[in-house]
Amino acid sequence: MTLLLLVVGGPATAARAAGPPPIDAPAAVLVEPATGDIVYQRNADQRRPIASTTKLMTALVALEKLNLDDVLAQVPYNPAGAESLAGLRAGDRMSVADFIRGLLLPSGNDAAETLAVRTAGSRSAFVKLMNQRAQQIGLKNTHFETPVGLDTAGNYSSASDLAALTLVLRMNGFFRETTNRPDADLKVRGGRTIHVVNRNTLLRRAAYVNGAKTGHTNQAGYCLVGSATRDGVTVVSVVLGTGSEEARDRNSLRLLRYGLQRYHVVAAVRRDQPLATAGVRYRDGTTLRLVASRTVERTARRGEKLSTTLVGVPDEVEGPLAKGTRLGTVLVRQRGRTVDRVALVAARDVPAATATERLSDYGRRRGTIFLLVGFVGGSLLLVLLRRRSTRRERSAGTEAEIA
């Protein structure tokens, strides 16, 4: 058996060697979810007012409790002058999908109020659901008092908690699609259409930005939970408490670019890649290639090494054997732990050995030759002994007749 052990990776790049960008937000974090790395943090666990990034939890509870095709009626809502709204009127009927679009894109407080009341029966009951879900996710520095996000005592979170919440939400395809939209048309039953625009202006400035939620109040400052994807790598950033929208966007872009530069997707093994060979019984000098059954790609820091180890691989195989038969396992290891297991399989069919091949193989094996020599020698000895015994019997019979 021949094993081809691989170490996958690449040299450190200038982007990797460079330090983190200058960040002047009071609190910020950058995470790479595939590895779980916290790439950058500044006061990341500090409890702070979070403005309309509160609506991320509003969206999560609504998505988990309601069906997107359900139709809801807008509840009465009396906003203050500066509140962000989706433009809904009491009694407007729309799908849950459109209410969530109205919640996330223009950050509509009216949509948030309706989702809360229609989901749980009242705002207070919905807030209880928000806090229960926060506990289940493990958000240790988060508490909600409102589904809307206006400055309210006891409504707070941290940059780290908001990043964790966003990672849960990004498992939902509708959330990812919605927060990546620059705008949307909300269809009110009865014919009216409301055009809404995403407040996350980074979507229009950088093609790789694909989410997620803005927020602003006097106490919270300007906040943004951002996400970006490029070449298969996704990173999530949170910036809290900046003094302007420009500072919010500048800090967010710096973090997102930094994260995308530091990581890449590496093929640890590729489908049909030869990783070992095994001898074929009865066919001297013939080998069978053993190949990976599928491709394994992993996100890794630039310069980071991934390795593969083979287990359960036979030294020799015997036909008949079908192509694709499992003959071992490839362990993909990253940072000292096994992150995937891939079947190692036969690259081709191996037919059963013919009688001639079996005899030829017997003849080639030294032990077989010794056995044959011993067998032939023993047989000759038996023949000689039998002949001698026969002669003695005949001689004894002749002597008896003479006597």
* Spatial distance between the Cα atoms of 91 and 74, rounded to a whole number of angstroms: 5
Q: Which amino acid is at 216?
A: H
For 13-262, which CATH class?
alpha beta
Concatenate the DSSP letters of all residues of 319-351 into one string: SSB-TT-EEEEEEEEETTEEEEEEEEEESS-BP
> What pLDDT, in 10s, does the model give residues 357-379?
777 766 666 555 555 556 656 66
* Beta partners for residue 222, in sequence order: 216, 242
Alpha-carbon Rg of the chain, whole angstroms? 36
- In this prediction, residue 142 carries a pLDDT of 98
* Beta partners for residue 37, in sequence order: 32
For 270-346, which CATH class?
mainly beta
**Mean per-residue pLDDT for 24-39?**
97
> What pLDDT, in 10s, does the model give residues 265-289?
999 999 999 999 999 999 888 999 9
pTM of the predicted model as reported, rounded to 2 decimal places: 0.84
- Residue 1 is encoded by which pair of tokens? 């058996």
Q: How far is CA 245 from CA 14, 103, 202, 205, 268, in A?
A: 30, 20, 11, 14, 41
* Spatial distance between the Cα atoms of 276 and 241, rounded to a whole number of angstroms: 56
List, by residue number, the catalytic residues.
52, 55, 107
> What pLDDT, in 10s, does the model give residues 296-328?
999 999 999 999 999 999 999 999 999 999 999
Tokens 């990581």 — which residue? 263
SS3 216: strand
Per-residue pLDDT band for 394 (boundaries 50, 70, 90) equals: low
